[in-house]
Chains A and B, each alone.
Chain A
């Protein structure tokens, strides 16, 4: 199986004092006073490979670096250290947040074009998908209203419909399921399962352990930017639960 992503010793860090930092005055100050080195590591020397057809779940406490990892995989963040390989010829669709690229004043239809183009589709391809998107999102005539007039459920349904009415070869998902009413949620999960059965590679970030255990073929546990455990979903989830997400020493040595 082909490798879709490979990270080698990847580190991402954020500087503290990030607010003051953004001025010429501050830059000159640090130049004269010497560097400040207060950094927060979001990813710390992480090495990870993801192969085709894998359904990878990522777990960890808040601030463990899960979302940062997804952003590195989608090229939103360029890490300060380490190497990132990604299979750029594959069609990779990120679903990091619902409604990315939506402009509140544009209509639902126009936003479909905008968001679709961001995902790498041409005008004609989006036009062909339009019917399906309207049907799945159950928006009907609302599709030509500005999205600022949508209810949050309508907004989420449209965003989810656009992101998944596509046939992505690789799908990256960051905790977007508690959306819409119960029936729509079920529809979403069915659609995700169908995508996964079709052989797409999926990478999930979620706090819903039960969902991950049933849907994933591999689970990765992150803590403070480091890899704690990587293996079969049931085992990783059990270890995670047993320690309430705080890795103890023996977990770290078992890596």
Chain B
């Protein structure tokens, strides 16, 4: 990516963020209202299903739900970023990477703000605070890499095949409901079929990066770091490769 495109990406993302919140004093809070509703409903229902104390369950759930929603947002907004960049890509040369990157930057800033809001909520729910929370800035990194990579892959696919949107959303839903985000990873005995599935599920390891420090008060394991970073970097490499491989064809499909 050339310097011109990078500079433009940075300035464009900043101006988009400014625009979004220019006329609303409570802009970021509104942004959080809808997920907050979602969180309240889910924690009410699933604390009954999982027979857990509600504030305990809410901490467990929020710890991964916030990064998951960030991931989902990056993939979904990244998906139509190239098609949405038609206004520029058809008229002036700019690296196509600009568009998924801009969406990723915007989602990342909003994610940091929702994380801050969640910690305010935790102040009421969480009884003990441990030193393990300090690892969280590093826990964000694999999620961010995975999101950007998956966003670029889906952006390329969506440019050529507009009907993949439904498929990607189905895949996201499948990943979400099969991963230990709503339920605890030790719900199933390790040798059962479900337990085996958890072990092979990549999101299990991503989730552990937040669940362990926030909910269990423990450091994430080596395997959690290895798997999540490997998946994140692999997706980023795949996305970057696809973008470069097909960038010359985008024009004809916008």
Interface residues of A (CB under 8 A from B): 14-15, 18, 21-25, 27, 71, 74-78, 94, 96-97, 100-101, 103, 105-106, 110, 113-114, 117-118, 120, 122-123
Q: Are A118 and B251 in contact (CB under 8 A)?
A: no
Q: Are A117 and B162 in contact (CB under 8 A)?
A: no
CA distance A75 to B2 in the complex (A): 13
Known contacts A75-B93, A78-B249; 14 additional CB pairs below 8 A are: A14-B252, A21-B253, A24-B163, A24-B164, A74-B93, A76-B90, A76-B93, A76-B251, A78-B248, A78-B251, A97-B91, A105-B19, A118-B94, A123-B7
Complex interface: chain B residues within 8 A of A22 (CB): 160-162, 253
Q: Name the interface residues of B167-192: CB closer than 8 Å to any CB of A.
A: 167
Query: Which residue of A76, A106, A110, A120 contacts B89 across the interface (Cβ within 8 Å)?
Result: A76
**Interface residues on chain B, number (Cβ under 8 Å):** 27
Q: Are A77 and B12 in contact (CB under 8 A)?
A: no
| Nearest CB on A from B164, distance (A) | 6
Q: Name the interface residues of B1-41: CB closer than 8 Å to any CB of A.
A: 4, 7-8, 11-12, 15, 19
Complex interface: chain B residues within 8 A of A122 (CB): 7
Query: Which residue of B8, B19, B161, B252 contacts A27 across the interface (Cβ within 8 Å)?
Result: B161
Complex interface: chain A residues within 8 A of B163 (CB): 23-25
Give the nearest-CB partner of B164 in chain A: A24
Complex interface: chain A residues within 8 A of B90 (CB): 76
CA distance A37 to B164 in the complex (A): 24
Q: Are B252 and A118 in contact (CB under 8 A)?
A: no
| Nearest CB on A from B4, distance (A) | 5
| Nearest CB on B from A135, distance (A) | 24
